[in-house]
Copies of this chain bind each other. A is one copy, B any other.
Amino acid sequence: MAANESYMEKKVISIGTVCELTGLSERRIRYYEERKLIFPDRSKSGIRKYSFLDVEKLVDIANKREEGIQTSEIRKEFIKEKKYDEKTLREKVIRGQINAYFNKRS
């Protein structure tokens, strides 16, 4: 029981761990927040907490930046493609699980 929640969207990871997971610097991660690309929660004392979904989003952002895309453009893309949109994601994750379960290759 209680074995199934949206761990992917639960904001529990602090910035240092996010750096390790993504390879990005704290500075860059905070900057992308300033540019409205990611929205971490805050603990009572003000410490940023990220979700695994945020981590994936950051990797995606970093890749786009490598391609020279500006943060303002990246934001527009996310909105237009509805990428990282909560409902869209949930669907995607569940489908992934099902595929993995049946050993399907998409």
Residues of A bordering B, CB below 8 Å: 2-4, 7-8, 10, 12-14, 16-17, 21, 43, 49, 52, 56, 59, 92-98, 100-101
Contact = CB atoms under 8 A, between A and B. Distances in A.
A100 B49 contact: no
Contacts of A17: 12, 14, 43, 49
**Copy total for this chain:** 2
Contacts of A14: 14, 17
B52 A7 contact: yes
A56 B10 CA distance: 14
A10 B56 CA distance: 14
A20 B30 CA distance: 24
Contact of A96 (B3, B12, B56): B3
15 contacts: A2-B59, A3-B56, A3-B92, A3-B93, A3-B96, A4-B93, A4-B96, A7-B8, A7-B52, A12-B17, A12-B21, A14-B17, A94-B97, A97-B98, A98-B98
